[in-house]
Structure 1
């Protein structure tokens, strides 16, 4: 039996090592491949599907609004009917109480006048008996009519309660339909955002080649895209300020920054406008990588793309200087 030489053992070990290396490379290569980014064609196809679904949800929401309006009208009619029935019930109840008191006092419901005019003696006794008979007959008739009034009032109460419950269900259903439609509309907005990418050249390390400002507003194409998208999505009713000549070390003179105002004259914005500012900042962070957002300043804090986190800034004095009345966005 031949004995393997040292060289044979070495060659065998190298072959095994080579096989292991090939397998390791093959296994590690698969998960390292990033998922391909959706193409514009694919995004448009997904957007078309979302639009179709949105149209169906909006139609459903519209039908819900019509049903809600009908339920509102029915509920109002039932309340009006109940109010009318309550008036009749109150009137009839008052009449019955008046008759009961008059009968108890053996007197006319018209007051003391008839009491003083009622004859005395035997004639007076007969007159009081006749009056009593009249009161009893009138009370019987009133009671008979009162039963119908009471039943009508009870039916009106039941109908009003049913219409109120129906309206409550409609309000809840309509809110649910609206929430589903709004959620889908938000997905459509996000899909539209994905169709836009910052223009210009991006280096392999993720940084962007600077751009020159252009146009009458003196801002770069990248800044103009961010400004346009925010304006379309959030409206920004108090205006947007971008280029300014003052050399303050920032991006405004370079055409690479815009301020999205939430109030006028340095006043503190309303709660609704503060929320608008939060939404603008969140949107800019969410789309920062694709739209070349460099940093955001809002409410005395700064978010930078390098760190991906907010940090507090020093007090510069005043709502505007501390960016309480506007989010500031700079692009590369």
Structure 2
């Protein structure tokens, strides 16, 4: 074999160094997924910030209402002052007109007229009193007018400032709410339904267990809904009555929106829609079979809602609760 040329020998250190780098270089590791504990800690901090934003938003709206009330009061004060001003102005014009039409002499003429001094002084005092009274009234109007203008200007400036504050807080609040929803979604995605899933997407049914007599799959769905939405009126799952549904099998829960069969409204109605939408969104991953709400049923097989027949009552027709069943 021929000996390596000097040129080839000079290349070997570079080649060996390059091989060493390739052998010792490890691929970049993906950042580990956050745990449920980490996400819940982040969620709690974000919800605290969101609550603060909501408080600031509320206080700003109250301050704006007070500013509007101040401006309204100033307007009302001006209207009253204007009415008084108009009245006094009319009286002054009437007095001036009477003096002009009657040819009543001025004060200098009165002093040189040779009339009785007592009568003369009385007339002059009365005239001056009337003039002073009118002047005082007009000055009072001017003060009210100026105060009203100041209040209106301050209220207007405050309202503009508060409008900007409320608008900014509203944007931040909505942004925080979206971020909260994203974190909640991330928490949900860390869970998958326990049990065996078949190739066709369906799940092998589970037996109920534990003191609550529900399946592990139903227990997980119940836990996630309860943590995400809260259910202040209670959750009903297992019941003994064999009605052909999943409740006696431990594979269904009702998430109540009211008590005593009352028709829910407002926030509770919204909560029911949110729970139903969440269950549908996570149905495939969590093994949810169907959802019933407001006399409609959504089935995993069809992926759409259909109207149900009337069962004769608010609760029977699922108007006061969404029902969630799992495989």
Q: TM-score, normalised by structure 1?
A: 0.69
Residue 130 of structure 2 is aligned to residue 135 of structure 1: yes
In 2: Cα distance, 1:290 partner to 1:151 partner = 69
List aligned pairs for 1:112-151, cutoff 5 A.
124=119, 127-140=122-135, 143-144=138-139, 146-151=141-146
**Which residue pairs with 1:41 in the alignment?**
33
Aligned to 2:254: 259
Q: 1:67 to 1:325 in 2, by over 3 A?
A: closer
Q: Does residue 1:183 correspond to 2:175, yes or no?
A: no
**1:101-129 per-position Cα deviation (integer Å, ceiling 9, x unaligned):** 8946989xxxxxxxxxxxx9885465323
Structure 1 residue 165: Cα displacement? 2.3
Q: Does the 8 Å CA contact 1:295/1:304 hold for their aligned counterparts? A: yes
> Does residue 1:169 correspond to 2:164, yes or no?
yes
SS at match of 2:33: helix
Taking only aligned residues, the RMSD between alpha carbons, in angstroms, comes to 4.1
After TM superposition, list the pairs within 5 Å mapping 1:195-274 onto structure 2.
Answer: 195-274=190-269
Match of 2:307 in 1: 312
Measure how far apart 1:243 and its partner are: 0.7
Report the alpha carbon displacement of residue 222 of structure 1 after superposing the two structures with TM. Answer: 0.6
Matches of 1:84 and 1:309, distance apart in 2: 59
Runs of 4+ in 1 over 6 A off after TM superposition: 43-46
- Point out where structure 1 has 5 or more consecutive residues left out of the alignment: 1-37, 108-119
TM-score by length of structure 2 reads 0.70
For residues 145 and 313 of structure 1, the distance between their equivalents in structure 2, rounded to whole angstroms, comes to: 74
2:282 is matched with: 287
Residue 219 of structure 1 deviates from its aligned partner by 0.3
2:4 aligned partner: none
Distance 1:286 1:232 in 2: 17
> Which region of structure 1 is more displaced relative to structure 2, 127-136 or 96-105?
96-105
Q: Judge conservation of contact 1:99–1:135 (CA < 8 Å) in 2.
A: no
In structure 1, what is the Cα distance between the partners aligned to 2:257 and 2:51? 34
> Distance between the aligned counterparts of 1:54 and 1:156, measured in 2?
39
Decide whether aligned partners of structure 1 residues 163 and 196 sit closer, same or farther in structure 2, where only a CA change above 3 A counts: same
Is 1:192 aligned to residue 187 of structure 2? Answer: yes
Deviations 1:24-51 (A, max 9, x none): xxxxxxxxxxxxxx99826769948975
**Larger deviation, residues 39-48 vs 251-260:** 39-48
Aligned to 1:61: 53
The corresponding residue for 2:67 is 75
CA contact under 8 A between 2:78 and 2:145: conserved in structure 1?
no
Aligned residues: 283
Distance 2:61 2:311 in 1: 53
Cα deviation, residue 300, structure 1: 1.8
What CA distance in whole angstroms lies between the structure 1 residues aligned with 2:317 and 2:199? 35
**Which residue of 1 is the match for residue 150 of structure 2?**
155
